[in-house]
Amino acid sequence: MKNTFGNNLTMTIFGESHGPCIGITLDGLPSGFPVDQKAILEDMKKRKAAGKISTQRHEDDIPQIVSGLFQGKTTGTPLTILISNKDQHSKDYESLKGRLRPGHADYTAYKRYNGYQDYRGGGHFSGRLTACMVAGGSICKQILAARGVKIGSHLEQCGTILDKPFSSDKEQCAREIDQMNQKAFAVLDPHKEDAMKQEILLAQQEGDSIGGILETVVLNYPAGIGDPIFDSLEGLLSHGLYAIPAVKAVSFGEGFGFARLKGSQANDAFICNRTIQTRTNHNAGINGGISNGMPILIHTCIKPTPSIYKTQDSVDYLTKENVQLKIEGRHDPCILHRARIVVDCMCAFVLLDAWMSKAGLEAFMEDPYAC
Binding site for NADP(+): residue ranges?
47, 52
HSE-up (13 A, CA, CB side) for residue 133: 30
Q: Write out the binding residues for FMN.
A: 124-126, 288, 303-307, 330
Give the C-alpha separation, 48 to 58, whole Å: 8
Where are the strands (E) in 90-245, listed by range? 150-158, 161-162, 212-219
Write the CA distances from 354 to 135, 200, 249, 275, 361, integer angstroms.
19, 37, 22, 22, 11
Give the burial class of 49: count Cβ atoms within 10 A of its Cβ; 0-12 exposed, 13-18 middle, 19 or more buried. middle
Q: Write out the binding residues.
A: 47, 52, 124-126, 288, 303-307, 330
Q: Which residues pair with 26 in a beta bridge?
A: 11, 79
- 3-state secondary structure at position 12: strand
Give the C-alpha separation, 24 to 15, whole Å: 9
- 3-state secondary structure at position 290: strand
Give the burial class of 356: count Cβ atoms within 10 A of its Cβ; 0-12 exposed, 13-18 middle, 19 or more buried. buried
Q: Contact, 100 vs 317, CB < 8 A?
A: yes
Q: Contact, 23 vs 15, CB < 8 A?
A: yes
Give the C-alpha separation, 196 to 203, whole Å: 11
